[in-house]
Amino acid sequence: MKIRGKIYLTGKNSLIFLIILAGSILTGLSGCSDFRKDADISGLNDIANTLLFDAKNCTENDILDMQANSSLLTTFTGYTETGFSNGGKPGWSFERINGKEIEATTLISSSGFFTGDKTMFYLFKPQDWDGKKAILWAPGFGISDFAFCFIKNFFIEEMCQGYAVLFYVLPYHLIRIAPGKKEGQGLITADVRSNLTIIHSIASELNQGFLYLKKIGVEKIGGWGGSIGASALYILSVTRKFDHLAMMIPILNWNTLIFHTAFAKVLGKITNSACNTEKLSNIYLLISPVSYISQTTPERTLILFAESDQLTPAETVTNFSNLRGIKALKGYPETHASILLNGNVYRDYAEFLSNM
């Protein structure tokens, strides 16, 4: 199936794209994936070095409090839609698709991530949208204006197939960057309690998007999640039933990330006799999709994964899928950082969506 639409790049973004693409092509020709794996590991090392400054011992009270509140992590049944206001047009826009205009709106409501922050969604609606189908979209860590040059192809296909797109603006990214911080800084911390709270809060904000779509009369709500966004979206799907669910390079078990060798020094500062590695592992399972069963049926679930992913190993993905009976499993000779460069990702998703 052909992906519709074009990617337009200018200036600095064009140069960055060409550098990444050239490296990708050269790596493919040589039959070696070290170039791409290094990008994953480099990213993990950067995060670990940032966390090292704030790392401190996890306490026994932290463990007891998190265990006592574990039911909050997947229970959203009692939540109600809080209402959104119109925040104007988002920074992202589309040309006409199939000759039709695309209406773009920013939806905002209150948020508690940091002072002045707002929960934000970008709503994209084709001119002829009938109001019945929409995709709740949850991106991953590092989402940026440059990444839009790639993920817009998913949006275009979704809108061509009659869906509206409700894109979630991930905290600490895009126009939700904390004052004085770099993009992404603050989303993942060395504080265990904070990490659990953040993942729950992201799932809670996604729930607000889900309830908004229900409120405006959408009958068929699909989900698309990438990386950390896929993790939070899956947590939400334990309570909310999606018509279908697509996950790309999902973080399925937070322990594969937390206990990665890149975080060894951070772990050394966090763990102690009261909060040893076993207790820490059990706590992170509370926010890990491997611990839960989604309400979305396996037949309507797609996982797109990178065979050389350094954050979620291929074995973790295949085991997760086998245990849940998920047959729509697509692997690519890529890493966490390079998967969007593979055109088959977009084609496979388009085919999956057309069968829904």
**How confident is the chain (356 residues) per 10-residue block, as mean pLDDT?**
38 35 34 56 70 75 81 73 90 89 95 90 95 97 92 96 97 93 88 88 94 96 97 95 98 92 86 87 92 96 95 95 97 94 96 98
Cα–chain-centroid distance for residue 179? 23
Number of domains in the chain: 1
- Greatest alpha-carbon pair distance for the chain in Å reads 64
In a domain, 6, yes or no: no
In a domain, 66, yes or no: yes
DSSP at 342: -
Long-range contacts of 22-27 (CB under 8 A, 24+ apart): 24/338, 24/341
DSSP characters over 217-281: T-SEEEEEEETHHHHHHHHHHTTS--SEEEEES----HHHHHTSGGGHHHHHHH--SSS-HHHHH
In a domain, 326, yes or no: yes
DSSP at 100: B
Relative orientation angle of helices 60-68 and 277-284, to the nearest 10 degrees: 30
In a domain, 155, yes or no: yes
Burial grade of 88 (CB within 10 A; 0-12, 13-18, 19 or more): exposed
In a domain, 23, yes or no: yes
Query: Which uninterrupted H or E stretch holds 110?
Result: strand 102-110
CATH of the domain at 163: 3.40.50.1820
pLDDT of residue 62: 82
- 331: which strand partners? 305
- Backbone phi and psi for residue 244, each to the nearest 5 degrees, phi listed first: -155, 160
pLDDT of residue 61: 83
Quote the domain boundaries for residue 74.
11-354
CB contact at 8 A, 329 and 298: no
Residue keyed to tokens 């988002």: 90
In a domain, 147, yes or no: yes
- 245: which strand partners? 223, 301
pLDDT of residue 52: 61
Say which amino acid occupies 291. S
In a domain, 1, yes or no: no
